[in-house]
Amino acid sequence: MSKSYQVAILGATGAVGRELLELLENRNFPVNKLKLLASERSVGQKLQFRGESLPVEAVSDRAFDSVDLVLASAGGTTSKTWAPKAVAAGAVVIDNSSAFRMNPEVPLVVPEVNPQAAATHKGIIANPNCTTILMVVAIYPLHKIIPIQRIIAATYQSASGAGAKAMEEVKTQTRAILAGEDPVAEVFPYPLAFNLFPHNSPLNDLGYCEEEMKMVNETRKILGNQKIRITATCVRVPVLRAHSEAINLEFENPLSPEEAKEILSQAPGVKLVEDWRANYFPMPIEATGKDEVLVGRIRQDISHPRSLELWLCGDQIRKGAALNAIQIAELLVEKNLLKHSAALV
């Protein structure tokens, strides 16, 4: 990484934006100049980067002039407005929203799984949903050995998936309940402290919420297989920033738990966490702040000879969002792909 680049973070003051800033510095990404972009209400804030205090600027038509890379984490509506303008200005956009994920012209990339897809970009690369990223990192090493035919997922999703304000709301609700007061819900539709509820994204006609369908559709796209049968139940739980998932995998042929553990113990981006005698397995409190997806409690499904059960935890803000985006950026630099010849229309 001898060359350096002009980088912009769109949505710099949000939880993921701040994590992107930290990772750019900690991973020594080759930044020549960094722009921090956000809405008008964030203008005037200053954030630290490599010992400097950088001002937050309002995103505008001229904000992307001379920018090589945009790391966008400001929501779908904002991305739909500004990502094409950034591409037209010559930048490559790695977008963390759902705006472009299912666009057939936009690659959906998890570097441990389908890095080759990044080479097909036309200016925009989509970062998958957090639950999808964590799951495919864990299951792809097994899928490579024996193809997976069906996935049944149940997620236990932290407040961080709804942003920094949601995390603060859970803390405030917790203090209120412990003080004998009624918790107030503003970010979420219901109190999350000492509670849980099915994910509150919009429901389709089949009764599946948007979050569940993201896992279905995005996993198929990333794995390049539209025939894999997938179902999911997504639940919001009172955890601050690490998601957990219970996954049932049906394989084409039997795969023993011992074989699966050996494969995952060597898999990139995965850390095997198991102590059966102590009943010790991945926990969100231990996944928080970690780059790896923690995987454990791998066992034979007693109801199906070709199925395994596993449990995983991963930091939603980190690998579920910011880290995956930075890894994509590192891949683009390594493969000299931080350029495009055809803007996405």
Chain segment 244-279, per-residue pLDDT in tens: 999 999 999 999 999 999 999 999 999 999 999 999
- State the alpha helices, DSSP H only, in the chain: 15-26, 76-88, 130-145, 164-178, 210-223, 257-264, 284-287, 323-334
Is residue 86 within 8 A of residue 93, CB to CB? The reply is: yes
d(CA 235, CA 109): 25
220 in a labelled binding site: no
Q: Is 48 annotated as a binding residue?
A: no
Q: What is the pLDDT of residue 2?
A: 65
Report CA-CA distances (Å) from 152 to 25, 155, 187, 192, 198: 38, 10, 29, 25, 16
Does the annotation list 50 as a binding residue?
no
Q: Which helix (H) or strand (E) holds 31?
A: strand 31-38
Query: What pLDDT does 345 receive?
Result: 40
Give pLDDT, residue 344.
Answer: 45
Cα distances from 341 to residues 91, 179, 235, in angstroms, run 11, 60, 42
Predicted model pTM: 0.95
- Using alpha carbons, select from 257, 229, 92, 241 the residue that is nearest to residue 168: 241
Which residue, among 230, 272, 227, has the nearest Cα to 247 in the 3D structure?
A: 230
Closest CA to 250 of 147, 132, 137, 154: 147
Answer yes or no: is 277 a known binding residue.
no
Distance of alpha carbon 82 from alpha carbon 63, whole angstroms: 10
300 marked ligand binding residue = no
Q: Is 15 annotated as a binding residue?
A: yes
Instruction: Please identify every residue annotated as catalytic.
Output: 130, 243
43 assigned binding-site residue:
no
Binding site annotation covers 128?
A: no
160 belongs to an annotated ligand binding site: yes
Residues of the chain with pLDDT under 50: 1, 342-345
> For residue 263, what are its two tokens?
């494969």
Q: What are phi and psi of 117, to 5 degrees?
A: -65, -25
